[in-house]
Chains A and B, each alone.
Chain A
Amino acid sequence: MPTQGEYLGMPVAIDDLDQPNQEFYTHCGSGALHLQACAACDLLRYPTTTACPWCSAAAYRWRPVSGKGTVYSYCEVHHAIQPLFRPHLPYLILLVELDEQVGAPNQHDGLRVTSNLVTPAGELAPEPLVRSVGIGTRVRVVLHDIGGGMALPQWTVDEAAKQPERPWRYPQE
């Protein structure tokens, strides 16, 4: 039986044979974002893979990470392709660089985790919140329960963090 859940009306079904994804979402469900850490070179990686992209070793451990990071880039969607996202326009897709492993293993590399901007309660962000976030905004992870013991990692503004005076936003606004 696949591990099953639901998000925004979309069924989630992770096959038993897809262990890295089952484990990733189950760790999120247990309350903390974990990433695969290579058993050979110890580098973290994202998203889930079946071997280490940096040294090709297969073995890994799950390691909890802080779940904090900085918006590295973003896409602000005004025309939804997926009908289920239409009620939430405009919505933000954030590319967030985690605080762990910045500039490693190579100078411009980073652990860049994609997800939506949400409220602290896990709802897709309303327009005023969308307009307040840009490159440089400090965010923290919110784990949104999707059932089946799983959760989806999402991003919300880190209220406790020191924020940039003005995060970088697309200029034509």
Chain B
Amino acid sequence: MNADIDATASKHLRGKYAIVGVGETGYTRGSGTSTRALGTTAVRNAIEDAGLTTADVDGMLSYNGNDSVPSTAIAGDLGIRLNFYMDCQGGGSSTEALVGIAIGVIEAGLCKTVAIFRSMNGYSQVRIGGTGRSTGRSALSGDALFGRAFGQASAAQNFAPTFMRHMYEYGTTPEQVAHVKAIHSEHASNNPKAYYKQRVTVEDVLASRMICKPLHLLDCCVETDNGNCIIVTAMDRARDCRHPPAAILGVVGRCSKPRVDNYFQSGPISSVAGVYAKNILWPNAGVGPDDIQVTGAYDAFTFTTMLQLEDYGFCKKGEGGDYVSSGIMRLGNQRPNNTSGGHLCEGYTHGIAMVIENVRQLRHDIDDSCPLGADGRRQHTYDYSEGGCRQVQDAELTANLGWATPVTGSALVMARGA
């Protein structure tokens, strides 16, 4: 089964497109409003952030793995006439994949500027984990026969055998992996919009109740209600926008291991899609993991961050436990991860908020509590103590590692544009 591509292909699109606008609602558990209203707010905020008007946006992309709202509703509400739109199925890993699609459709001449959004009442309407859902008695047929029949229905239950096998093969410990939550909670304490701003320790994670081994409650992300949006356009237009553009150097979309239908059947299950995706990402971006200053490794669970950093080559295979517990991912150290607090603390957005965070890092304009200067921009102190700064000093290069499942992932490398 040959899934390789020629990553030595022409790189004429490297740096030609950029993310120019980012926007979101707050992160709540109980938005008190519709996904349509959340999406509209997020898209409007992103257009305004870019310094554009609704007349400048003529493309729209969205994804829904549970609840969402179609592009047509948002475009209608904001009076946007579209030259292109598409709403696709999928959760995590969709953001980066849609960035690639946006570049493709602009390059093909279908439209000029694309708003990519995700809107969900992930706590108050459709809870992805299925907690509290009353459909437990619906008929077993098709794929459910090989999952729900055995009480294997949630993401945690589906991914746990992968996580457990990694512990078995490499000696990865619960303590090591718990550092992911502890570090992300430190970052979230410096993020005024994070849902969970309370710092927690490795001991807190290990003492939290078991959901399904090897996942404690605090190894699992929060479920929240939110809308988020990013705006993609060509670099020549990007230079006219309000903020320094986040140039897109390379992107990978839903790259998969073999047997995407049932990922337990093929290969060592302790490896994830990054083992394939890295061979597209780094050559296309023209940089390697050592060059990256900030990562956004998807943290639906503490383990997903570790597995991806390992398989994209930020450390040797099997040493992910050492990497995430070394402190390297902490603000102020060599390569901070999920400086917003990520899905574990800030809120759950199926990955789009982690791209937004890295765009703001590259603008050197992270929305922390640092004082505003006369120019209206934050005067970052780089004091990362609780309640303080979370801007990474001189951030020039970031990587997002999006996760759908162990078998499928997407990735995005961005650079601070001139």
Residues of chain A at the chain B interface (Cβ within 8 Å) = 2, 7, 9-15, 18, 21, 25, 45-47, 49, 53-54, 72-85, 88, 91, 93, 95, 106, 108-112, 114-116, 135, 152, 168, 170-172
Given known A13-B140, A75-B160, contact A135–B145 (CB-CB < 8 A): no
Question: How long is the Cα–Cα vector from A168 to B167 in the complex, in angstroms?
Answer: 10
B417 to chain A, nearest CB (A): 42
Q: Which of A72, A111, A152 is B149 in contact with, Cβ under 8 Å?
A: A152
Q: Is the CB–CB distance between B141 and A9 below 8 Å?
A: no
Residue ID in chain B nearest A83 by CB atoms: B136
25 contacts across the A-B interface (CB closer than 8 A): A10-B139, A10-B149, A12-B140, A12-B149, A14-B145, A45-B265, A46-B265, A47-B262, A53-B261, A54-B1, A76-B213, A78-B211, A81-B133, A81-B157, A82-B151, A83-B134, A91-B151, A93-B151, A93-B160, A108-B267, A112-B265, A116-B150, A170-B167, A170-B174, A170-B213
Question: How long is the Cα–Cα vector from A112 to B269 in the complex, in angstroms?
Answer: 11
Please tell me the number of chain B residues within 8 Å of chain A, measured between CB atoms: 50
Given known A73-B269, A75-B212, A168-B168, contact A11–B137 (CB-CB < 8 A): yes
Interface centre among B148, B211, B266 (most CB of A within 10 A): B266
Contacts of A53 in B (CB 8 A): 258-259, 261, 265
Interface Cβ pair total, 8 Å cutoff:
148
Question: How long is the Cα–Cα vector from A170 to B213 in the complex, in angstroms?
Answer: 7
Contacts of A81 in B (CB 8 A): 129-131, 133, 151, 153-154, 157
Interface secondary structure of B, over-half rule: loop
Question: How long is the Cα–Cα vector from A46 to B146 in the complex, in angstroms?
Answer: 10
Given contacts A79-B211, A82-B151, 17 further A-B contacts (CB under 8 A): A10-B148, A11-B139, A13-B140, A21-B145, A25-B145, A46-B265, A53-B258, A54-B1, A73-B164, A73-B264, A78-B213, A79-B210, A81-B130, A95-B269, A109-B267, A114-B264, A116-B151
Question: How long is the Cα–Cα vector from A155 to B264 in the complex, in angstroms?
Answer: 17
Question: How long is the Cα–Cα vector from A76 to B211 in the complex, in angstroms?
Answer: 9
B246 to chain A, nearest CB (A): 38
Q: Is the CB–CB distance between B137 and A18 below 8 Å?
A: no
Question: How long is the Cα–Cα vector from A110 to B130 in the complex, in angstroms?
Answer: 30
Residues of chain B at the chain A interface (Cβ within 8 Å) = 1, 129-131, 133-134, 136-142, 145-154, 157, 160-162, 164-165, 167-168, 173-174, 206, 209-214, 258-259, 261-262, 264-269
A56 to chain B, nearest CB (A): 10
Q: Is the CB–CB distance between B139 and A80 below 8 Å?
A: no
Residue ID in chain B nearest A84 by CB atoms: B136
Closest 6 pairs between A and B when the two form their complex, measured CB to CB: A75-B160, A73-B161, A76-B213, A78-B210, A73-B165, A85-B151
Q: Which of B1, B138, B213, B266 is A75 in contact with, Cβ under 8 Å?
A: B213
